[in-house]
Structure 1
Amino acid sequence: MSDTKPGSGRVAEMTWPEIEAALEETRTLLVPVGSTEQHGRHMPLGVDAYMPEAIGARVIARSSALLAPPVWYGVSPHHTFKPGTFTVSTETFQRYLFDICASASEWGIENVLLLNGHYLAQDPELEVVVRRLRSERDVRAFHVPLVNVFADVAEEVRTGEVSFHASEFETSIMLALFPELVHMDRAESVDPPAESLPLTDYDALGENEVGWSLTARDMGELTPAGNIGDPTVATAEKGEALVESAVSDICLLVDELAE
């Protein structure tokens, strides 16, 4: 048995002997999965990676798990109408993420939680990765879209009618976690179309009951600013409540996996 201390819990900051020691306490890995894409005039392009990485850091402070470096590039073709957005194909994204998690299983990881900060848009890809990890690598894998684990609190704290992209929820979370990166003086409300098709909705908590997507052309026509919804009603207090909800729920799963 190694006498090396487990380390910080952040894989990128640890030595391999520290990882080896940590594996005596946990076999669970959190993988923050995001994208680098436009988030309006008021927020940085890294929002979708900043959020799950920071939430993952809070989880490992309370529960026994390791935190992988975030995946910065995702499936974001609908945001390429603004400069700075990167996107990869569905196939590339799935293969890359599968290989990351599969390699972790080689050194002892048994449980993987994919903390998805680019929720809704790349949910389908992550569901496939989870299925492959379970069937091909015998890894207990889970897709954790952030919007799902803070949904109940989001319904309680919201004051805007629509929060679809870079609006009330994401802006509030960033105000709580990285206020220095948010420019509220540049935030503006952008209303989506008055009506959406049946079973679809321009809202993160809406009735999105069938799969659908937007193209870059669609987004360009919908929003000159880049966001859809009202970020001006965002507050750090709302963001802290959303973050706490997500962290608490994720900890429940992590703790159960440890038993």
Structure 2
Amino acid sequence: MYLGDETWPDLGEYFEDESLALVPTGSTEQHGPHLPEATDHLIAEAFAREAADRTGYLCTPTVNVGVSGHHRQFHGTMWVEPQVFREYMESLTRNLTEHGIDRVVYVNAHGGNVPHLREVGARLREDETAFAVEWMWNESIPDLVDDLFEQNGPHGGPKETAMIQYLRSELVREDRLEEARDGGVPSVDAAETVKHGSRTFYDAADNTENGVLGDQTDATAEKGERLFEAATEQLVELCEWMAAREYEDLMPRDHV
């Protein structure tokens, strides 16, 4: 069920029976010369909608702009400051609780959002407002990602390329895959920006001239479909696990 397609009386019937919502979160930022800036939020929304279709749980509209200041040197990247993003996500989630939602999955496809979504979830749980967790698609299937790609990225690499080839093939500049590979770096290690145990880089531009890592020519739509199906299964199982728990068991334990 997609919230934006429903009327308020129909949504009222949902809230009578269910208390879980999926909130897709991504970014609008550079993904190299071959992928659209919408890459992350397209992936997040696809997962959230598919899981909602399979389970009947509620999917909210997508948060399209996230914490992406580290890509600011590349044309078109949009971002909000981390504290603004945290405040927005917390407010949005508290809004959902007004309607009876008490479990939220942030269906996330942008690494820059991860620590901030985790912090928001911790705040909401601490005051027992809701149980909200961040879910990152590739982290749910790490073995498959490693099996499919020799150099998977991370950013703008073959795993994201394969996902967009599968979900929105018309947006992939297939004639630029070699350019993306040759103008970027295979990995953060190859960028040699970790010095004596310290991450000396702050921005994507510190690591790679064209904004991406990995071998994009290793991506195919078929691999994207395998990734999508496997990760969707994990997301569905997470939703079912959360829905089956007693709310009290999801809240902080008493002091020892």
Structure 1 and Structure 2 fold alike (TM over 0.5): yes
Determine the structure 2 residue equivalent to 1:249: 234
Aligned residues: 237
Shift in Å at residue 169 of structure 1? Answer: 0.6
Distance 1:53 1:105, change over 3 A: same
SS in 1 for 2:75: coil
Say which of 48, 69, 84 aligns to 1:56.
Answer: 48
1:150 partnered with 2:141 = yes
Shift in Å at residue 105 of structure 1? Answer: 0.3
Pairs within 5 Å for 1:174-253: 174-187=164-177, 188-189=180-181, 190-191=184-185, 192=187, 194=190, 195=192, 197=194, 214-216=201-203, 219-253=204-238
Aligned-partner Cα distance in 2 for 1:19–1:214: 46
Alignment check: 8 A CA contact 2:47 2:232 kept = yes
1:116 partnered with 2:108 = yes
Query: What do residues 80-112 of structure 1 show as CA deviations (whole Å, max 9, x unaligned)?
Result: 111110111111000000000110001111110
1:163 partnered with 2:163 = no
Q: Which amino acid aligns with 2:171?
A: L
Aligned-partner Cα distance in 1 for 2:196–2:232: 30
Q: Which amino acid aligns with 2:25?
A: V
Determine the structure 2 residue equivalent to 1:205: none
Q: Which amino acid aligns with 2:104?
A: V
Determine the structure 1 residue equivalent to 2:25: 33
Q: Which amino acid aligns with 1:236?
A: A
Shift in Å at residue 213 of structure 1? Answer: 8.1
Shift in Å at residue 258 of structure 1? Answer: 2.8
SS in 2 for 1:164: coil
Determine the structure 1 residue equivalent to 2:162: 172
Percent of pairs identical after alignment? 32
Alignment check: 8 A CA contact 1:26 1:64 kept = no
Aligned-partner Cα distance in 2 for 1:72–1:123: 14
Say which of 79, 84, 88 aligns to 2:76.
Answer: 84
Distance 1:257 1:154, change over 3 A: same
1:141 partnered with 2:132 = yes
In the superposition, the TM-score normalised over structure 2's length comes to 0.86
Aligned-partner Cα distance in 1 for 2:235–2:155: 23
Alignment check: 8 A CA contact 2:22 2:58 kept = yes
Aligned-partner Cα distance in 2 for 1:33–1:162: 22
Shift in Å at residue 226 of structure 1? Answer: 1.9
Aligned-partner Cα distance in 2 for 1:105–1:53: 21
SS in 1 for 2:134: strand
Larger helix proportion, structure 1 or 2? 2
Shift in Å at residue 214 of structure 1? Answer: 4.1
Determine the structure 2 residue equivalent to 1:207: none
Query: What do residues 105-131 of structure 1 show as CA deviations (whole Å, max 9, x unaligned)?
Result: 011111100111102x22211110110
1:129 partnered with 2:116 = no
Aligned-partner Cα distance in 2 for 1:61–1:135: 31
1:13 partnered with 2:5 = yes
- Give the unaligned 5+ runs of structure 1: 1-8, 201-209
Shift in Å at residue 162 of structure 1? Answer: 4.3
Q: Which amino acid aligns with 1:252?
A: E
Determine the structure 1 residue equivalent to 2:16: 24
Query: What do residues 123-159 of structure 1 show as CA deviations (whole Å, max 9, x unaligned)?
Result: 211110110111224211111112211212112211x
Deviates more, 1:21-30 or 1:230-239: 21-30
Alignment check: 8 A CA contact 1:127 1:143 kept = yes
